[in-house]
Amino acid sequence: MSKCSPASSHRRHCARVDVGKIRTSRVAAMFGAMALFFAIAVDAWAETGLDVEYSELQPLAEKSVLLDVARIGDRMVAVGERGHVIFSDNGTDWKQAEHVPTRSTLTAVFALGDRLWAGGHDAVIITSGDRGKTWSRQFFEPDRQQAVMDILFTDQDHGVAIGSYGLVLSTMDGGKTWTDETVDPENDYHLNSMVRFDDGRRMIAGEAGYSYRSFDDGETWEPLDLPYLGSMWGAVITPGDCVLFYGLRGHVMESCDFGMSWQELETGSLSSLAGGIYSDDLLVLVGNSGTVLVREDRNISEHLHSDGVDFAAIIPIEDGRFLLVGEEGVHFYPETVAEESGQ
Amino acid sequence: MTTDATTRHLHNLATFLINYRYGIVSLFVVITIGMMFAMSSLKIETGFKKQLPLKHEYMQTFLQYEKEFGGANRVLVALVARNSDMFTPEFFDSFEKITNQVFFIPGVDRASVRSIFTPNVRFVEIVEDGFAGGNVIPSDFQPTPEMFERVRSNIVKSGEVGRLVSGDFAGAMVWANLLEEDPQTGVKLDYRQVAAELEAIRTEYENDDYSVHIIGFAKIVGDISDGAKSVVWFFLAAFIVTAILLYLYSRSIWLTVLPLTCSSIAVIWQMGTLALMGYSLDPMNILTPFLIFAIGVSHGVQKISAWTVEKEFGGRTPDAWARDGVTDVSSIPRRSAMHGSRETMKKLLAPGIIALLSDTIGFLTLLFINIRIIQELAITASIGVAVIIVTNLLLLPVLLSWVNLHNPHAYRERLLKKAQEISGFWLFLTNSTEPRRAMAAVTVAVILFIIGFWLAQGMQIGDSEVGVPELRPEARYNQDAVLISEKFSLGVDLLTVVAETVPDACTENYEVMESIDRFAWNLRNVEGVQQVVTLPMVAKVVNAGWNEGNIRWRILPRDNYVMRQALGGIETDTGLLNRDCSAMPILVFTEDHRAETIARVVSRVKELREEMSIGTLEYHMDHEVLEEMVTGEEDVTTEALKFRLATGNVGVMAATNEDVAAAEKPMLALVFASIIILCLITYRSVRGTICIVLPLVLVSTLAEALMAIYGIGLKVNTLPVVALGIGIGVDYGIYMYNRLDDLLKQGHSLREAFYRTLRLTGRAVIFTGFTLAAGVGTWMFSDLQFQVDMGFLLAFIFLANMVGAIILLPALVRLLIYPKHKARKAKELEAGAEA
C-alpha cells in the first residue's frame, strides 16, 4: 500500500487503490505448461497474490513506444510499453522476446556480464540470463504506484533500482530479493537516472531540482545544489571526470568537479531531453519532437530528426551511427549511412 | 377456365374497351394530368440510412450511438498551396476568409469550427512550473517572416501537424460539424444548400496558386444530387435512341409515337404513384423509370407488330402469305383499325400479363433483402410494371384503333416483299437447330459457363475503390479525399468498435481501461489497420503531459485520481467517450475498405472479444456522487465490458457486405425457383422449362464473371441487377419458346418452325434486347459510379439474354425436346396408319 505522508508530492494522492483481481489472461494460457513452470519457478512473488501476466507477442512490437536500450555483447535489447522486449544482433532485424512475465511499461534495461535486468511501471523488475530471449520476474508491486526509472548493477549480485516517488530498491543477491532504501528522507521526488564513476562515486539526476550525489558508492547521499530547478531526466559521464545532467526544456548542465559547481550549456533547444550517450568524442542527447543535440569540440548543434517523434534513449552502433528508441520504435542517427554529420 | 371461356372474356373486354374508347382515353388523359401534378411534388433525395441493413447487429450499434458519437457529420475544407508552403501573406489571408465563411454556413455548429485561426485551437507547452499556452495565431499577428516562424512553431506545439495543418506545411484545413436539425427552429438541414455554399468557397479561392479540397457527407450528398440531375439528359438520350430504333422497326410515324407515348405515360403514372404513396425517388432508383420505359416500349413493339398483322394482313404474317405464294398485296384482306386492336388485345393480353408477372416476380424477390433502398427499388419497379399492364396492354391497342397508316398500300407491299426475300441472316440463325450446330452451341455454352463460373469466384464483395463508392474514382470528391488523406495524416476509412462498460469506468476502473487499450493494440497489429485511436491512448499521452511531457510516463495510471486528472480535459465531442463514460469508441482506421480487409478486422474483433471478456467485474464504487447515493461502500457486480461492432463508414460497409453476401444466393435461388414454377405452370413441360432457364443461368453466371473481371463488387447497387436482369430477360425465352412450341405442335419441322419464330418473334426479341440495352446503357456515361455499374451490367444481361434466347434456346430444344417430339409424331403417324 502506498504511503500517505504530507511530504508526498502534489501529484501523488493517498488514494485507496482497489486493484481488484487481475486474472490470468488467455494469452498467458497460450504459453501453456512452460508458463506454468515459470510461474511456479518464480513463486517468490506468490505472496503478493497476483498472477503473472505475459507480454503479448505482436508484429508491431518493434514499432511501439520503446523507452530504453542496452547492449549485451553484439546484441541490442530494447524495452518499452506493454512489457515489450525486443532484441537484434544487427539493429535492423528485431525479434520480440517470447517470454516476458509482465505487461507493465518497461522504462529501463541494464546489462552486465551475461545478465540483463529491466524495470518499469508497477515497480516491476525482470531479469534474463539468455541475452533477452526469456525473462523471469523478480519484483512486482503495482500497489506502490511507483515506477522503476533506472537500474544499475556493479556485479552479478549487487545492484540498485531507482524510480518515481523516491523509489530506491537494492539487492545483494542478483535481484532475488530487493530491499527498500531511501536517498532523501525529507522528499520523495522522482529519481530518474543514476551514474557511477569508476571509483564508486555516484550521482542521481532527479525531479524539480532534486538531484543527489554519493561519495561512498551509494551508502549515503547528499542533495546537489543546481543552478536550474527544472527536472533532470538523465545523466551521462564524459571524460575529464565530468558529468552532464539533461532534462526539461533543453536544459543541460555540466559539472567537472563532482557537483561542486555547475555550468549551464547553451543548447538553443526548448525540447526536453530524455536520453544521452558519450561515444567516440561525441556527446549525443536526444529528446522530444525529434530533437537530437550533438556536442563536438564543445559546440552544441541541434538537429531535428525527420521522424519527428519523442526519443527516450540512444546507444552507439557501428560506423559512427547511433540507434535511438522512442515513439514508433527504433530510429537511427544519422538517418542515412552516407549522411556523415547530420545535416 | 377453358380456353374458349378465356377467349370469350378477352373478346368481351376488348370489345368493351374499343366501344367506349373516347371515355377510356379521356379517363387516361385525366389520370395522367393528375399524375403529372402528383409527380411534380416527387422529391429526388437520398437518405444515408436507406442504404443500411438496419436489422444487422452492427447497425443496431450504429443507431444506438449515432447521436452521441455523431462526429461523422463533419465537413473538412482544405486550402493547399500548389507550389509553395503555407507561410505566405496571400495564403493566410485566403485561409482566414475561408475559415470565416465556413463559420457562417447555415447548419454549421459554430462552436465546432476548428482551424488555426479559431480560438479553440491552442498550443500548449510544458514549462518548469506547469503548462503555458496561447492561440496558434498570436493576436498581434502581422505577415512577417519572424511571425510566420512563430506561427510554425506554435503549430508544431499545438500538435495539429497532420491534422489541421498538412505534414509538409503546404496546406491547412477547416473542420466543422453540421447539425442535422437547427436547435432553435428544428428545421432539417438542407445538405444540398450546404454543398452549394462549400462549392462557392472553392470557386472563390481556387486559382493557379492554391487548390481547395472539400470532403464530408454534405458534400457527398451534394455531388450525388448534382450527378443525378443529369438524369434528364440520359432520359432524353434514351428516348431519342428508342425513337430511332422504333421508327427503323415500324417505318411509321404513328407506330413510333404511340408506343413512346404510352411508355411515357407509364413512367408518369409510376412516379405519380410513388409521390402519392409518400415515397421519394432516390438517385439510385432513378434507373427504374428507364427500365419501365424500356419494358413499356418492348411490349409496345409486340402490340404494333400484332396490330399490323391483324389489320393489314388479315391476321396472318406477311411471311405466311409469302410462303403461300401470294405476291400481290391486294389479294390479302385488310381489316379495320378497330378490328386490329381487338384481335391484338385478345391475342397478346394473356402472354403479356404472364411476361410482366415474371418481371414482377424478379423484382419482388428483392423485398426479402433487408436494405430499405433495395426494397424501395422493388416497390418502385413493381408499381411500374403494374402500370405497364394498363398503359401498354390496354391503352396502346385502344389508341391504335384510330390509326390509319399513311399510304398503307406501299407499306403492305414493302412488308410482303421483305417476307419474300430469303434473308441470309435469318437462315444463318436458323442453322442453330442443325444437330451439329446445336451441339456446338451447347458445347460453347458449357465452356462459357465453366469459365464464367470459375471467374465468378473472383467476384468481390463490397467496394475497393478509393473514396466514396457512389462517385467515380476520378470524381473531384474522390480526388480530394485521396489528396487530403495523403497530405494530412487523416484516415478516411473508419471502423468503430464501441466498448460498453459501467458508468464512469474510464476513471474508476483501471481494468476496463487496460482491456480497451490492449484490445486496441491487438487490432492495431491486424494487417490493413493503419491506426487505432482510443480514450486510453489519449489518457496515456495526457498523463505524460502531466508528467512534464516525459515519454516514460506514457502509461495508464492505476490511480483513479490521476486518471481523472488525465481525462479531465477530454470532452465528449472528441468522440472518444460518452457523457457518463459508459461507452468508449475504439476508432480503427483501415488502409482501405476492401472486403477482405474489413473481414479480417471484423473477425479479429470477434476473436478478441472472446479472449478479452473480463466477464463480470467487482465494480468498486468510490466516486463521490455515487457514494452519496449508496451509503457505505458496496460492490456492484455488473457485466463489465462489451465490445460492440460497429459504426463508422467501414462498420457500415462490414454490415452491408455481410448482408449482401448472405442475400445473393438465396435471392438468385428465389428468382430461379419462381421462374421455373411459372414456366412449369405455363408449359407443363420440364424439358421446355430447362430450355428457357438454362440460358438464364449461363447469363447470370457470365454477369458475375464480368463483375469479377471489371472489379465491380457485389454491393447494394449491384445486388438487385441480376434479379432485375433475369426477371426481364426471361421474357425473351418465354416469347421464343411459346411461338416455337406452337409451330412444332402445328406439325412443322424444327427448322421450319424456328425460321418462322425468328421472322416474327425473333425480330421483336432482337429489337427489344437493343431497346432495353439502349435504355439502361446511357447510364454508362453517368457521373455516378453506381449508375455506371448498374447500366453496364443490365445492358450486358439484356443483350446476353437476347443472344441466349435466339441461339442457345433453339439448340437446347433440338437436343432435349425435338427427338421426343419426333418420336411422338412418328408414333401418331403409325397410329394414324393403323387406323
Say whether A82 and B518 touch across the interface (CB within 8 A): yes
Say whether B559 and A310 touch across the interface (CB within 8 A): no
Query: B335 pLDDT band (50/70/90 cuts)?
Result: confident
Chain B residues touching A248 at Cβ < 8 A:
126, 128, 548
Assess B511–A contact: CB distance below 8 Å, yes or no: yes
Between B525, B549, B620, which is nearest A272 by CB? B549
Does residue B701 contact residue B778 with C-beta atoms inside 8 Å?
A: no
For chain B, the maximum distance between any two Cα atoms, rounded to a whole number of angstroms, is 121
Say whether A107 and B127 touch across the interface (CB within 8 A): no
Mean pLDDT confidence for B716-732: 80
Q: Is residue A228 exposed (0-12), middle (13-18) or buried (19+ Cβ within 10 Å)?
A: middle
Q: What pLDDT, on a 0 to 100 scale, did the predictor assign at position A164?
A: 92
The answer for B 204-243 residues in CB contact with A (under 8 A) is: none
**HEC profile of A81-144:** HHHCEEEECCCCCCEECCECCCCCCEEEEEEECCEEEEEEHHHEEEEECCCCCECEEEECCHHH
Q: What pLDDT, on a 0 to 100 scale, did the predictor assign at position A120?
A: 94
Query: A275 pLDDT band (50/70/90 cuts)?
Result: very high
Neighbours of A279 (CB within 10 A): 14
Say whether A13 and B559 touch across the interface (CB within 8 A): yes
Q: What pLDDT, on a 0 to 100 scale, did the predictor assign at position A338?
A: 55
Q: What pLDDT, on a 0 to 100 scale, did the predictor assign at position B491?
A: 67
Question: What confidence tens digit (pLDDT) does each residue in A43-77 have?
Answer: 434 334 456 888 888 999 999 999 999 999 889 99
Residue B596 pLDDT more than 80?
Answer: yes
Name the residue with higher pLDDT: B101 or B155: B101
Q: What separation, in Å, do the N-terminal and C-terminal C-alpha atoms of chain B show?
A: 33
Query: A20 pLDDT band (50/70/90 cuts)?
Result: very low
Say whether A21 and B618 touch across the interface (CB within 8 A): yes
Assess B637–A contact: CB distance below 8 Å, yes or no: no
Choose from B161, B525, B552 for mutation: most chain A CBs within 10 A: B552
Interior CA angle at B25 toward B20 and B28, to 5°? 130
Choose from A10, A16, A18 for mutation: most chain B CBs within 10 A: A18
Do the bridges between strand A263-265 and strand A232-238 make them parallel or antiparallel, or are there none, so unpaired?
Answer: unpaired
Assess A19–B contact: CB distance below 8 Å, yes or no: yes
- Report the chain A residue with the minimal C-alpha distance to residue B558: A145
Chain A residues touching B504 at Cβ < 8 A:
none
Q: How far is CA B150 from the centre of its chain?
A: 51
Residue A192 pLDDT more than 60?
Answer: yes
Question: What confidence tens digit (pLDDT) does each residue in A228-265 have?
Answer: 888 999 999 999 899 999 999 889 999 999 989 999 88
Distance to chain B for A169, nearest Cα, Å: 19
Does residue A145 contact residue A185 with C-beta atoms inside 8 Å?
A: no
Assess B521–A contact: CB distance below 8 Å, yes or no: yes
* Consecutive H or E run containing B214: strand B210-216
Question: What confidence tens digit (pLDDT) does each residue in B48-94 have?
Answer: 667 778 888 888 888 777 767 654 577 889 999 988 888 888 899 99
Say whether A289 and B156 touch across the interface (CB within 8 A): yes
Q: Is residue B406 exposed (0-12), middle (13-18) or buried (19+ Cβ within 10 Å)?
A: exposed
Q: Which three cell numbers stand for residue A15?
A: 488514494
Say whether A249 and B127 touch across the interface (CB within 8 A): yes
Q: What pLDDT, on a 0 to 100 scale, did the predictor assign at position A7?
A: 36
Identify the weakest region by mean pLDDT among A271-275, B185-189, B513-517, B645-649: B185-189
Assess B279–A contact: CB distance below 8 Å, yes or no: no
CA atoms within 13 A on the CB side of B645: 22
The answer for A 113-152 residues in CB contact with B (under 8 A) is: 121-122, 142, 145, 147, 149
Nearest of A271, A232, A139 to residue B153 by alpha carbon = A271
Q: What pLDDT, on a 0 to 100 scale, did the predictor assign at position A135?
A: 92
Distance between CA atoms of residues A15 and B7, nearest Å: 94
Name the residue with higher pLDDT: B517 or B167: B517
Query: B218 pLDDT band (50/70/90 cuts)?
Result: confident
Assess B128–A contact: CB distance below 8 Å, yes or no: yes
Chain B residues touching A64 at Cβ < 8 A:
521
Chain A residues touching B551 at Cβ < 8 A:
65, 67, 274, 288, 310-312, 326-327
Assess A274–B contact: CB distance below 8 Å, yes or no: yes
Distance between CA atoms of residues B630 and B625, nearest Å: 9
Q: What are phi and psi of A306, to 5 degrees?
A: -70, -20
Q: Please enumerate in sequence order all residues whose Cβ is within 8 A of that of B697, keeping only pairs 6 or more positions apart, or say none.
A: B449, B672
The region, left, alpha or beta by phi > 0 then psi within -120 to 50, assigned to residue A67 is alpha
Residue B147 pLDDT more than 90?
Answer: no
Q: What pLDDT, on a 0 to 100 scale, did the predictor assign at position B131?
A: 65
Q: In the β-sheet with A212-214, what is the strand arrangement from edge to edge?
A: A191-196, A202-206, A212-214, A222-223
Between A22, A142, A274, which is nearest B551 by CB? A274
Identify the weakest region by mean pLDDT among B33-47, B205-219, B418-432: B418-432
Nearest of A123, A130, A117 to residue A105 by alpha carbon = A123
Name the residue with higher pLDDT: B754 or B431: B754
Q: What pLDDT, on a 0 to 100 scale, did the predictor assign at position B272?
A: 93
Mean pLDDT confidence for B292-314: 86
Chain B residues touching A149 at Cβ < 8 A:
552
Question: What confidence tens digit (pLDDT) does each residue in B432-449 have?
Answer: 778 888 889 899 999 999
**CA dist list (Å): B723 to B51, B697, B729, B796:** 18, 12, 10, 14
Structure letter (DSSP) for residue A269 = -
Question: What confidence tens digit (pLDDT) does each residue in A195-231 have?
Answer: 999 999 999 999 988 999 999 998 999 999 889 888 9
Q: In the β-sheet with A273-279, what is the strand arrangement from edge to edge?
A: A273-279, A282-287, A291-296, A299-304
Chain B residues touching A18 at Cβ < 8 A:
620, 622
Q: What pLDDT, on a 0 to 100 scale, did the predictor assign at position B154?
A: 83
Does residue A207 contact residue A183 with C-beta atoms inside 8 Å?
A: no
Distance to chain A for B610, nearest Cα, Å: 10
Location of C-alpha cell 444487422: B56
- Report the chain B residue with the minimal C-alpha distance to residue A104: B555
Mean pLDDT confidence for A105-128: 93
Paired residues of B132 in beta bridges: B125
Nearest of B483, B488, B581 to residue B534 by alpha carbon = B581
Assess A21–B contact: CB distance below 8 Å, yes or no: yes
Q: Is residue B323 exposed (0-12), middle (13-18) or buried (19+ Cβ within 10 Å)?
A: middle
Interior CA angle at B691 toward B689 and B693, to 5°? 65
Query: B264 pLDDT band (50/70/90 cuts)?
Result: very high
Query: B229 pLDDT band (50/70/90 cuts)?
Result: confident
Assess A20–B contact: CB distance below 8 Å, yes or no: yes
Distance between CA atoms of residues B223 and B738, nearest Å: 47
Q: What pLDDT, on a 0 to 100 scale, did the predictor assign at position B496?
A: 87
**CA dist list (Å): B822 to B732, B739, B750:** 25, 18, 9
Percent of chain B with pLDDT over 90: 17
Say whether A25 and B524 touch across the interface (CB within 8 A): no
Assess B640–A contact: CB distance below 8 Å, yes or no: no
Residue B248 pLDDT more than 80?
Answer: yes
Distance between CA atoms of residues A35 and A31, nearest Å: 5
Question: What is the rounded average pLDDT for all residues in chain B?
Answer: 83
Residue A171 pLDDT more than 60?
Answer: yes
Question: What is the rounded average pLDDT for all residues in chain A?
Answer: 82
Distance between CA atoms of residues A67 and A69, nearest Å: 7
Segments of B525-675 assigned E as strands: 529-533, 583-590, 616-620, 635-639, 641-647
**CA dist list (Å): B813 to B404, B696, B744, B751, B802:** 40, 15, 11, 11, 16
Assess A169–B contact: CB distance below 8 Å, yes or no: no
Residue B816 pLDDT more than 50?
Answer: yes
Name the residue with higher pLDDT: B630 or B158: B158
Paired residues of B188 in beta bridges: B181
Assess B169–A contact: CB distance below 8 Å, yes or no: no
* Consecutive H or E run containing B122: strand B122-127
Distance between CA atoms of residues B479 and B464, nearest Å: 15
Assess B547–A contact: CB distance below 8 Å, yes or no: yes
CB pairs under 8 A between A and B: 91
Say whether A13 and B561 touch across the interface (CB within 8 A): yes
Distance to chain B for A15, nearest Cα, Å: 7
Say whether B546 and A122 touch across the interface (CB within 8 A): no
Name the residue with higher pLDDT: B120 or B550: B550
Q: What pLDDT, on a 0 to 100 scale, did the predictor assign at position A24?
A: 39
Q: Please enumerate in sequence order all residues whose Cβ is within 8 A of that of B535, keeping only pairs 6 or more positions apart, or say none.
A: B506, B513, B516, B567, B570, B576, B577, B584
Q: What pLDDT, on a 0 to 100 scale, did the predictor assign at position B432?
A: 75
Distance between CA atoms of residues A325 and A315, nearest Å: 9
Distance between CA atoms of residues A82 and A117, nearest Å: 16
